[in-house]
Amino acid sequence: MLLTQSKIIVTGGPTREWFDPIRYISNASSGKMGVALADEAYKKSRDTVFIHGPINEYYIMDRPYRCVPVESTADLLAAVLAELSEPCVLIMAAAPADYTPVARSGEKIKKSDGDLVITMKRTPDILKNVAEIRKSRGLVDIFVAGFAAETINTEEYAVKKLKSKSLDMICLNDVSVEGAGFNTDTNIMTIFTAAGERIELPMQSKNLVAENILRQIEIGLSQRG
């Protein structure tokens, strides 16, 4: 399986989970890392698609690859599954919301003297769904790279996610560290592979981080034989 002969699916940015017509639950992801990865992926394969949540349109202006906008985590899952095929590489750099309101009000929830309590439920686990589909359909020519944005017990959580989601690789960044958080132009990354390798990327531009991640994916694919 060669990267140059594979479809590359990159996801990036946040998702939004609306609880009334004007307000939503989301996070601070800018999508910059996802855009950098999609740019680098396109250098490797012209069959590159970037599935992104709500991000600044300037970031994807005049990009040569296909861009697919989504809103919610459920939308992101549907878009990823629609693109999944063999051979392909999935780079899950998006930061989807983990919870969504159980009910969405059709009208603006008015301010009152009391507290506002919103009951939430889990959103679909995209990487878990992909792992189950790979297993049930016997898909072997798919390489999945996940991302973990953590603040505590970072390596423990990243390795746990690598194994529990049957990933080929996971890219960890501690978003509590200056220069590695959301909406920055730099990142600090530690890559863990299913083969047990650990690769540290010091602080560098997100473009350079993306280049190094794609290089590690190529190495991972070459090790498959």
122 Cβ contact list (under 8 Å, min separation 6): 98, 99, 100
CA distance 126 to 81: 9
Residue type, 160: K
Distances (CA, A) of 218 to 122, 183, 198, 211: 34, 27, 15, 11
The structure tokens 């991972």 sit at 220
Scanning the chain, the segments in alpha helix (DSSP H) are 32-44, 73-83, 126-137, 154-164, 206-222
Q: Facing residues of 173 across strands?
A: 149
Is 27 designated active site?
yes
Q: Which of 27, 56, 153, 183 is catalytic?
A: 27
225 Cβ contact list (under 8 Å, min separation 6): none
Catalytic residue set = 27
